[in-house]
Amino acid sequence: MAPDEHLYYASHSVESDPGEMGELLASLPKDPTQIVDAVSGLVLDRAFVAPLGVVCPPETAADVQSRPLPEMLTRILSRDPAPLAAARPPEKRFIGVCRHYALLACSALRHHGVPARVRVGFAGYFEAGFHDDHWVTEYWDDGHWRLMDAELTSGVRRHFGITFDPCDVPRDRFVTAGSAWLGVRSGRIDPAACGVASIGITGAWFVAGSVVRDLAALNKREMLPWDYWGISRELRPGVPVSAATATRPRRRRHADRESGAALEGAARNLRGRRRAPGAGGRSQLSGGHTNRSNRADLEVKTALRGQMAVTEASLPP
């Protein structure tokens, strides 16, 4: 990883920056294997509330709309002022979604100087044969980007029959939005098997919207899962992704450069312009799914080139 990229992803974004609450993150571990339990002790997915029989206070209903980390921390501490390293009982946790787990884990890693970023894509480990909309954290470790799913506690893994390391999620079990879009375009992935299984939302339009959100996250704009803006406003259930949208020309600073290297450089320029002011191989798994430096970044850029382009102007200011 180049020094500028290391600095970029090891520094906070607008959403991950704890601001004046930064010292609170010091109590959270730097070790990824410990972050999973630490984050899950503070956040509870709203999908788990009813099955666990948790009775939450009324104010938790608004948790899910929280965007920046300080808002999350304020809500967590208002229910229990203990240090963040202390796990809360379920009814006192922040009731959010996978994005909130991913952002808190990402923020903790960045606080400790570890390059990290939120990734948007699809998990194949919650429902057999289905690619479920999901957000995870990607962090730099021993020269490779690895995927961490902070939602996968031992209890969750046991319930879903998950056997892999939650700090090194296999790339074939979590498919980034760019790879999913390429799969849909090539016919390798059925778009009807991509979306939100619990509410029956599926389709190519959903995958396309996820590409936009993942691109934003790679540029350190960690949105909410239901945010649609720019090109994604054209996407909706039951409406096929139009040819014009799928092949929309890219507006680049160097329009004559088509190579992957040039595209990667353009993305670095975009990251630099949007940077906020001031701002060992522990895998227990075999195989090479973690041995592709910057592969995930390239997946999204490749998916966008000639398939579904997102202009700079489509990103939120």
**What pTM, to 2 d.p., does this model score?**
0.80
Region 55-82: what's the mean pLDDT? 97
User: What DSSP assignment string belongs to 56-97?
Assistant: --GGGGGGGG--SHHHHHHHHHHH--S-TTSPPPGGGSEEE-
Region 23-50: what's the mean pLDDT? 95
Per-residue pLDDT tens digits for 83-138: 999 999 999 999 999 999 999 999 999 999 999 999 999 999 999 999 999 999 99
**Residue 248: what pLDDT?**
60
| 173 close to 123: Cβ distance less than 8 angstroms | yes
**Residue 100: what pLDDT?**
98
Residue 233 has pLDDT above 80, yes or no: yes
Residue 12 has pLDDT above 50, yes or no: yes
Cα separations (Å) of 133 from 16, 39, 215, 258, 303?
Answer: 21, 20, 15, 30, 18
For 86, other C-beta atoms within 10 Å of its C-beta total 12
Per-residue pLDDT tens digits for 159-199: 999 999 999 999 999 999 999 999 999 999 999 999 999 89
What type of residue sits at position 183?
A: G
The residues, ordered by sequence, that sit 6+ positions from 286 with a Cβ below 8 Å of its Cβ are none
What are the backbone angles phi and psi of residue 313, rounded to the nearest 5°?
-65, -20
The residues, ordered by sequence, that sit 6+ positions from 246 with a Cβ below 8 Å of its Cβ are 185, 208, 307, 308
Mean pLDDT, all residues of the chain: 82
**What does the angle CA 272 – CA 244 – CA 196 come to, to the nearest 5 degrees?**
75
Q: Would you list the domain boundaries of the chain? A: 3-314
**Residue 162: what pLDDT?**
97
The residues, ordered by sequence, that sit 6+ positions from 15 with a Cβ below 8 Å of its Cβ are 67, 68, 69, 103, 220, 221, 222
- Which of 61-65, 72-76, 225-229 comes out lowest in average pLDDT? 225-229
- With bands split at pLDDT 50, 70 and 90, how would you rate the model's confidence at 214? very high
**Residue 247: what pLDDT?**
66
Q: How far apart, in whole angstroms, are the C-alpha atoms of residue 37 and residue 151?
A: 8
